[in-house]
Amino acid sequence: MLIANATAAQVAKAICSPYSVEAMKEAPEQDYRVARLQDLLDDAHFAGIKTALGRALGYDNGAFIRQMLERERPISEKTVRAVETMLGGKYKGWFSCPATAPTFSARALRLARMYDELPPFKRQAAYASVQALHNPEPDNITTDDEQEQLPAQPTSQPGSFQ
């Protein structure tokens, strides 16, 4: 901390500030923000490249991103606003409250974006395929091998009661 040209009040404020880096490192929202920043970095647009994310935020390189991920710097409200407004608001709500935010992995989000880019007829086919994989087969469907092993059921004659 540089205090050579600071006034006594500025030094006192810096020493007693509840917003010091140490206090920010332990804040519960920082855990969530670091996780979300890592998810953002893993997004297809940045492909894990810290420099690409740093430049999208207006920095020369990815050093600031690395420092935030390693908790050397806190992820401030200013950074949150910058992320949510970059690229025309593509990441609006990215740092939403953890209680209300969906907990999708970066992989699930990539799949959802790929799905959204499909033409409508391919979306329907993809949806039907996923539904078929997700829904178990009904119990009354048997394979050809099982059908051969079942005993023949007696057929009833019309008008007869059994």
| pLDDT digit string, tens, across residues 56-86 | 989 999 999 999 999 999 988 898 889 988 8
Asked, for residue 36, whether it belongs to a domain, the answer is yes
First to last CA, the chain: 95
Residue type, 60: D
> Binning pLDDT at 50, 70 and 90, where does residue 25 land?
very low
Could you tell me if 68 and 30 are in contact, meaning their C-beta atoms sit under 8 angstroms apart? no
Overall domain count for the chain: 2
Residue spans of beta strands (DSSP E) within 108-157:
none
Tell me which residue range forms the domain holding 126. 101-136
* Residue 148 clears pLDDT 70, i.e. is over it: no
Summarize the confidence of residues 46-52 as an average pLDDT.
91
**Shortest CA distance to 32 belongs to which of 99, 91, 109?**
99
111 and 61 share one domain: no
Summarize the confidence of residues 39-48 as an average pLDDT.
88
Q: Report pLDDT for 133.
A: 82
* pLDDT higher at 66 or 25: 66
Tokens (6 digits) for 91: 């990441």
**From the centroid of its chain, how far is CA 74?**
20
108 and 84 share one domain: no
The pTM for the full model equals 0.46
